[in-house]
Homo-oligomer: A and B are copies of this chain.
Amino acid sequence: MNITEIKSEIAGDSYYKVEHPSGLTIFVYPKEGYTSSYAIFGTRYGSINTKFSVNGGDIITVPDGIAHYLEHKLFESEEGDAFVRYAKTGANANAYTSFEKTCYLFSCTDKFDESLEILLDFVQDPYFTAQTVAKEQGIIGQEIKMYDDSPDWRVMFNMLEGMYHNHPVKIDIAGTVETIAEITAEKLYEVYNVFYNLNNMVLCVAGNVTVDGVLKVADKMLKPCEKKEIKNYFETEPYEIKEPYVEQTFPVSMPLFNLGFKEKADKPLNENQLACTDILLSALASNTSTLYRKLMDSNLINSSFSYELFEGPGYCSVIFGGESRAPKQAAEMIKQYISDIKKTGIDKEDFEIARKSVYGDSVSSLNSVSAISNSIIDYEMQGNEIFTYIDAVANARLEDINARLAEMLDVNNCTLSVVKQPEEV
């Protein structure tokens, strides 16, 4: 068993990466002085993984929304619901499905070993029948409709539909009422058996824990898996956006917008690129930036304004969004500002404030056992490491930020999505 210690001079902390014989990669981040612990167990399987092959076989296509459906159903076993088992240990448990992963997690202060056993057990123990699968259709159908009522959710997916021609990131994580109707117990077992292979999964634990303690439970509970070669397929996605403007009417009191810049996505960003991008976006659009102030002064945004680097396998974009009385004007001001700053570069003082802010935020996230575990699993799944990222933020130079700016944020390759009240007649 290969155990590596990963240390940070800056944070004064260290954690351990374990290559477990079962195939699972395990991270343990002991936090001395804490009484609580947090564990997250995830697989590289999200809503976009609907076309794949195993060990060089044929390409298999499964219904949209199946990863999320599987997450819901995995809590059930022949003996009952995992939440009921957690209730006995007092742990607080949850799960989520994103575009590229599915994760199961809990936090607790007592009976950590018992809760970790439950987590490792139910995720490794699928149980679906025609009845239990059918029962879920109504519940997930409601969840889908609930998101349809969320202006934030709609404005984002409309933007993704405007930006991407083919990439499945534009499809709702939960699928549609039509696609989930195609899901059967057999299909759930099929995707489960491919993606819930321990070699494709990561366990991350932080808090009042020790490496030995975690490994004792892991040795007992993990069922060795034969490694499979999983390939995911996505249709070729051109660099160019599909539509520059998309609009939906919806009874909102204040219109919403998302302005997305489609970026090159040939390979995932490394820690350095991520650090530079985060600093760049903070300098450009955080709430201390000149742009934010200009937008506020012009009454074009309110404090709901935010920005995001939105990146994963085969897709990458930068999204600015929020509420606005005049979304088109807000988008124009943002594009004009970006065009201007591309000529002059980021101001030295603005860069320093942004670097310190991103640095402070990333170091202070190490105060929370949940933030630690969530970050480590996120970074690991895109092939990065958190302390390397923090070092990159600390050492970033203005030249690097301006170099990043030069290759990003093409004002001729962006989509504006607006959700607004129907016009009165």
Verify B145–A303 contact, CB threshold 8 A.
no
Against B, the Cβ 8 Å flags (1 = close, 0 = not) of A358-384 are 011101101111000000000000000
Verify A288–B299 contact, CB threshold 8 A.
no
B residues within 8 A CB of A31? 251
B residues within 8 A CB of A360? 254, 301-304, 323, 325
Q: Determine if A139 is an interface residue (Cβ-Cβ < 8 Å).
A: yes
Q: Determine if A34 is an interface residue (Cβ-Cβ < 8 Å).
A: yes
Q: Determine if A224 is an interface residue (Cβ-Cβ < 8 Å).
A: no
Q: Tell me, in angstroms, the Cα distance from A92 to B360 when the chains sit together.
A: 36
B residues within 8 A CB of A304? 360-361, 364
Q: Identify the closest chain B residue to A150 (Cβ).
A: B368
For the complex formed, measure the closest distance between the CB of A114 and the CB atoms of chain B, giving whole angstroms: 12
Contact A146 B296, CB 8 Å, known A288-B287, A364-B304: no
Most buried by B among A109, A143, A149, A359: A149
Verify B251–A87 contact, CB threshold 8 A.
no
- Number of chain copies forming the complex: 2
Q: Determine if A108 is an interface residue (Cβ-Cβ < 8 Å).
A: yes
For the complex formed, measure the closest distance between the CB of A35 and the CB atoms of chain B, giving whole angstroms: 5
Q: Determine if A297 is an interface residue (Cβ-Cβ < 8 Å).
A: yes
B residues within 8 A CB of A288? 287, 292-293, 296
Verify B109–A149 contact, CB threshold 8 A.
yes
Verify B286–A357 contact, CB threshold 8 A.
no
B residues within 8 A CB of A207? 149
Q: Identify the closest chain B residue to A365 (Cβ).
A: B253
A11 partner, pick from B149, B253, B369, beta carbons under 8 A: B253
Verify B353–A297 contact, CB threshold 8 A.
yes
Q: Tell me, in angstroms, the Cα distance from A303 to B302 when the chains sit together.
A: 17
For the complex formed, measure the closest distance between the CB of A13 and the CB atoms of chain B, giving whole angstroms: 7
A302-B356, A323-B360 known; 12 new pairs, CB 8 Å cut-off, are: A32-B251, A35-B148, A109-B145, A253-B364, A253-B367, A254-B360, A287-B303, A299-B356, A303-B360, A304-B364, A323-B364, A323-B367
| 26 chain-A/chain-B pairs, Cβ below 8 angstroms | A11-B253, A12-B253, A31-B251, A34-B251, A35-B145, A35-B148, A36-B146, A36-B149, A109-B145, A109-B146, A110-B138, A149-B207, A150-B368, A252-B364, A253-B363, A254-B360, A254-B366, A287-B287, A287-B288, A297-B353, A302-B361, A303-B361, A304-B360, A304-B361, A323-B367, A325-B360
Q: Give 6 closest A-B pairs by Cβ, nearest first.
A: A302-B360, A287-B287, A254-B364, A33-B251, A109-B145, A253-B366
